[in-house]
Amino acid sequence: MMRRSKKAKKNLNAVFWGRSAYRVEMGRRCSGSTSGRGLDHNWWGKLWKSQVPNKVKIHVWRAYHEALRTMFSLSKRGVGVNKLCPSCRTGMEDSSHVLWYFSEAQEVWRNSALWPVLKKFPGGPFYAFCLFVSSQWNSDELGNFLVIIWSLWQRRNNPVEKRTLAPKALWHAPSHGLIKINVDAAVDSSLEFIGVGIVARDEEGVVMSFLSRRIFGKFSPHLGECLAVREGVFLANFLKLDNWVVESDAMNAVRAIQNPVAEAPEANIVEDIRDYIAGVRNGRVCHISRDGNRVAHKLAKHAISKSVFCFSIDFVPRWLGPFVKANLAS
């Protein structure tokens, strides 16, 4: 009989299988202890009573505990991977991103019969999503939710699905009368400033205005993206627009603006943004893929490399023109 090495024994608990998840949870239930974060026995009762295959229940159990093989969980285990979602590159790939916030997941949820309830979810990590759902439905109604969670993960891991995904999304012109303002921030931790890029375009894709500037100070990437959104809103106000949308490829920044938290580091910036939005007929902030935000990204990078403040109305410099044209969807 082979003996396990000390190293193998030490790392034994790092191997996480569905069967062990089930046994751990059953052990906790039998002992009367609280599962996971100690928040809601109601969720666990409904999960285990639901009429879905055990593999689906165990999968959701793992998602709740951030034990899926996402980029985030792999990095926590010491695997040298980038935490960003490999598909959209706009947010950290944890359970909540894959199964809720990711644009393709959102499309699935919006097209499901569950959306009227799910759209009320205020946001948060995946375990909060589960607890919200358990407060809305009984164990029978929960079944559809669990199966969709399972299918989203299968889709994420299915190479056939990956090959059939839509091509990279380019910039799409807004509807008639709406002005689309794309924003981005470039942050280099070694510098004492960040670069901000903004471009405003109409329904025909014509550049109405653009801005490339530095904002001095040490800011985290998240705060930098929030500042970029605020600059975009300021530009809309300067141009006296009352029907506009600001698009950012920073999912966390958009989420912070749509669901503000009073004590968050970005609270004052978000308050400015929301005050401006409240003062116009139709103003909002939305998320866009990085591929649809290339012009703003180019302008933000330009601000990092060039100290010149660039602002223009109804004029596109020669160096920017090719990027504007290349980013247009046919």
Rounded CA gap, 184 and 196, in Å? 6
Rounded CA gap, 319 and 317, in Å? 6
Report how far Cα 226 is from the mean position of its chain's Cα atoms.
14
Backbone φ, ψ for residue 92 (5° rounding): -65, 130
Residue 204 DSSP class = T
pLDDT in tens, 56-113: 999 999 999 998 989 888 888 888 788 888 877 777 889 999 999 988 888 889 888 8
Whether residue 259 contacts residue 123, with contact meaning beta carbons closer than 8 Å, is answered with yes
Q: What CATH code is assigned to 179-326?
A: 3.30.420.10
C-alpha closest to that of 245 among 168, 185, 171, 299: 171
Return the amino acid letter for 103: S
Whether residue 181 contacts residue 246, with contact meaning beta carbons closer than 8 Å, is answered with yes
Residue found under tokens 């205020």: 122
Strands of the chain, DSSP E: 179-187, 193-201, 207-216, 243-248, 282-287, 310-313
Q: Over the chain, what is the mean pLDDT?
A: 82
Rounded CA gap, 237 and 240, in Å? 5
Whether residue 179 contacts residue 200, with contact meaning beta carbons closer than 8 Å, is answered with yes
Q: Report the pLDDT value the prediction gives residue 194, as an integer from 0 to 100.
A: 96
Q: Which two tokens stand for residue 40?
A: 């809601």
Delimit the domains of the chain by residue range: 36-163, 179-326
C-alpha closest to that of 179 among 255, 235, 229: 235
Q: Strands of 243-248's sheet, edge to edge?
A: 282-287, 243-248, 179-187, 193-201, 207-216, 310-313
Return the amino acid letter for 70: T
Residue found under tokens 């589960």: 130
Q: Report the pLDDT value the prediction gives residue 320, as an integer from 0 to 100.
A: 85
Q: Report the pLDDT value the prediction gives residue 40, as an integer from 0 to 100.
A: 64
C-alpha closest to that of 290 among 89, 97, 71: 89
Rounded CA gap, 190 and 85, in Å? 25
Q: Report the pLDDT value the prediction gives residue 168, as an integer from 0 to 100.
A: 52
Whether residue 250 contacts residue 290, with contact meaning beta carbons closer than 8 Å, is answered with no
The residues near 188 (Cβ < 8 Å, ≥ 6 apart) are 194, 304
pLDDT in tens, the chain (330 residues): 444 444 444 433 333 334 444 444 444 443 333 444 445 678 888 888 888 898 999 999 999 999 898 988 888 888 878 888 887 777 788 999 999 998 888 888 988 888 889 989 988 899 999 999 988 887 777 888 999 999 999 888 875 444 444 445 578 888 889 999 999 999 998 999 999 999 999 998 899 999 999 999 999 999 999 999 999 999 999 999 999 999 999 999 999 999 888 889 999 999 999 999 999 999 999 998 888 899 999 999 999 998 878 998 888 888 888 878 877 765
Whether residue 91 contacts residue 123, with contact meaning beta carbons closer than 8 Å, is answered with no
Burial of 274 (0-12, 13-18, 19+ CB in 10 A): middle
Q: Which two tokens stand for residue 24?
A: 């751990």
